[in-house]
Amino acid sequence: MVDIFVKGGWVMYPLLLSSIVGVAVVIERFWYLRRRKILIPEIISVLDQIKSPSDLHLVKSICDKFNGPFSRIVQTGINNRDLPPDELRVLVEDEGRQEVRVLQRGLVTLETIAAITPLLGLLGTVLGMIKVFNVIESLGVGQAKALSGGISEALITTAAGLIIGIPMYIAFNYFNNRAEAFVLDMEKYVIMLLNKLIRFTHKNESEVIDQLNLRGK
């Protein structure tokens, strides 16, 4: 294996570095993008059970126990529930956009590795063929042993670039789709929370108006 790596030339070193970085990102994303870690069941359960403003304290206490994008978005909505509905929606949407970046962290790195590693392999191929033609120019085509070094370099780097690039591209698509699915699920529950918060606000306003009307009579 070491001999093959050495025969690939200097291009193998950036390919090796790319593979190490890519594997690290894949492991981290596998660990982080778990459904239970993102869409925390305890928070979802308590959101479904909200019936009155008094239940919001329970939601907040549950969110305080779990650190993550979902809990932070929910807390933003609850902490700013006294804002007008339009301002509340804009604030929660802004917080959601910030949290999406957390879900997509590292995906640009995977996409870049998937794109550049085949190109690095192609660069190694070109450099290897240049060596082949230099040998042909100096020694002619009869020196098979002298030609084999450049040909090996060309083939090894091409194979290495594809071996790294293809899995990284698959991993990028997988994690990107998974992150988008989580975003849609979080959006569903956050919209449900916002509708309840707005309903509570309108109900409180109606009760205040009714009390004022009664006092006026």
Segment 107-122, tens digit of pLDDT: 999 999 999 999 999 8
Closest of 46, 56, 49 to residue 79, by C-alpha? 56
Single-letter code of the amino acid located at 140 = G
Q: What is the pLDDT of residues 116-144, one digit of tens each?
A: 999 999 888 888 777 776 766 666 655 55
Question: In whole angstroms, what is the distance from residue 53 CA to residue 57 CA?
Answer: 8
| Residue 2, number of CB atoms within 10 A of its CB | 6
**Total count of residues recorded for the chain:** 217
The phi, psi pair for 105, rounded to 5°, reads: -60, 130
The parent domain of residue 62 ranges over: 2-216
Give the total number of structural domains in the chain.
1
* Three-state secondary structure call for residue 106: coil
Ordered per-residue pLDDT tens for the chain, 217 residues:
677 777 777 888 999 999 999 999 999 999 998 888 888 889 888 888 888 888 888 888 888 888 889 999 999 988 888 888 888 889 998 988 888 888 899 999 999 999 999 999 988 888 877 777 676 666 665 555 555 655 677 788 889 999 999 999 999 999 999 999 999 999 999 998 888 888 877 665 444 434 434 454 4
